[in-house]
Structure 1
Amino acid sequence: MNKINKFNELHLSGDVLFLGNAWDLLSALALEKAGFKAIGTTSFGIARSLGFTDGENIEFDDHLKIIKMIVDSVKIPVSADIEAGYGEDIDTIVSNVLRTADAGVAGINIEDSLKKQKGLKEVEQHSRLLSKMRKELDRTGFEGFYINARIDTYLQKENPFLETINRAKAYAESGASGIFVPGLSADEEIKEIVYHVNAPLNLLSLPGLTNCNKLKELGVKRFSFGNALSDKMITLLEKNAARLLEYNETAHLYEE
């Protein structure tokens, strides 16, 4: 079974697919060793590891090199977070998606946020992108490639619920394999979206939204923690670095 098929199957089991989010090769290998069944890269974490902020501020080639390094070094499926596709037009974005697929990933996250300004792409515009993406992936031998359509309504809108359902339906009809709604956390809204949208729902870990077993009861199929682990590791590094100079002492590096 190839990794694309395996990744799709992980969304169809009775359990929530708990995705481990990696930002470099070391974190990917650690997540695989811990037993995660699949890895999703975090663009936020990758950007920070290279000294940049998130938001397509690094060169796509540099981003893709890290993704490929992870794919080439782990045995489990990898899904790549490529933000909004690193392009201003459909052809450029689709080309970048095909290059990402060529790197060996089993799927991508692709978001509907604008990058040069605040706001979201028009539903019809993003649906056309997803349709062309799916068509070109199928045409070039990547049938079943997992397109996780990220919907940023809960990050940008005052009353996002109804618009989220409309966007989710449109994206699923346009070729998305699943939908990803970061910021969604209310139980009733989660259940309603699961009921109305014919595509697996992916949620992002938040304070108070942390338990896979509870999410399974609500109908969620995939759960990820984004940049939370990379942020924790960076904070740990900064605290330890500061402590070294504060005390002129290295003893704490050897503490259990």
Structure 2
Amino acid sequence: MSQTEKAIRFAELHRKGDPLVLYNIWDAAGAKALVDEGVPAVATGSWAMAAAHGYEDGESIPLDFVLRIVERICATVAVPVSVDFEGGYATTPAALAENTRKIIRAGAVGINFEDRVVNGAGLHAISTQAERIRTIRAIADEEGVPLFINARTDLFLGTAPATHPGKIPDALQRQAAYAEAGANCFFVPGLTAPDLIAQIVESATDPVNLMMIGDLRTLDTATALGASRLSYGAGPFLQARADLKKAHANLRA
């Protein structure tokens, strides 16, 4: 498949009732292992990719290094590859545009793009983040690749569940604005309450991505809630690291 064909295929995999399951990887070996098991697409996780190479999360890993890893993943597997692009490794529209071009030319057909202010406090204003998404979409159009933009909001991740009901109106405002700006999917990591997920799924104009953490444990449960995409974030890396430690400990058992 060409890169454009992969992007189209990746979008088609987002379906209610039969969601795309992304067990996030951080290198080419992990991507190949999952493709050998029959997965139709792979996605990186920013925390895992950074930690696997000795960096903290939050764009501490240099973008040039990320691009080399992405290039190796895309050269190793024939399926669509989505990249956790965090906040685009940029604070200006010009830098965001250039970085988007680089990630597309590295072979990615999808990105996660978050609304948290990197190395700052809180989230970008809705209008600011929408404009950032428009910048990404414009560059993707220039490159001739229908890049799949998974618009992530950090309203819920790391915040107290008791506050989540009051955040739903803001989340839905963000979803509508991000979709209008060119996003293809709405990602709500940290939201696990079934009734609140239902409100997002029912109102969203784009497919909804859930993260499998906390009380959200089984694929059947998440599927029944109407998600079109399920991802695991840092979970696979943490499990792999724990398995490595356990295997080493067993050498002395």
Does the pair score TM above 0.5? yes
Instruction: Select the residue among 168, 190, 210 that pairs with 1:183.
Output: 190
CA distance in 2 between partners of 1:155 and 1:45 (Å): 16
Structure 2 equivalent of residue 122 of structure 1: 125
Structure 1, unmatched stretches of 5+, are none
Amino acid at match of 1:86: Y
Percent identity of paired positions between Structure 1 and Structure 2 = 35
Matched, 1:241 2:248: yes
Residues 16 and 223 in structure 2, CA contact (< 8 A), matched pair in contact too: no
Matched, 1:61 2:64: yes
**Aligned pairs (5 A) from 1:167-182:** 167-182=174-189
CA distance in 2 between partners of 1:3 and 1:107 (Å): 9
Structure 2 equivalent of residue 147 of structure 1: 149
Instruction: Select the residue among 217, 221, 234 that pairs with 1:227.
Output: 234
CA distance in 2 between partners of 1:206 and 1:155 (Å): 10
Structure 1 equivalent of residue 29 of structure 2: 26
Instruction: Select the residue among 83, 86, 96 that pairs with 2:86.
Output: 83
- Higher mean displacement: 35-44 or 232-241: 232-241
Structure 2, unmatched stretches of 5+, are none
Residues 211 and 231 in structure 2, CA contact (< 8 A), matched pair in contact too: yes
Residue 237 of structure 1 aligns to a residue whose secondary structure is helix
Structure 2 equivalent of residue 111 of structure 1: 114
Instruction: Select the residue among 130, 133, 137 that pairs with 1:134.
Output: 137
Equivalent pairs counted in the alignment come to 245
Instruction: Select the residue among 21, 39, 54 that pairs with 2:42.
Output: 39
If asked which structure has higher relative contact order (CA below 8 Å, sep 6+), I would say 2
- Over 3 Å counting, the alpha-carbon distance change for 1:91 and 1:156 in structure 2 is farther
TM-score, normalised via structure 2 length = 0.92
Query: How far did 1:135 drift?
Result: 1.7
Larger Rg: 1
Query: How far did 1:119 drift?
Result: 0.7
CA distance in 1 between partners of 2:147 and 2:196 (Å): 28
Amino acid at match of 1:235: A
CA distance in 1 between partners of 2:157 and 2:93 (Å): 24
Residue 29 of structure 2 aligns to a residue whose secondary structure is helix
Matched, 1:99 2:125: no
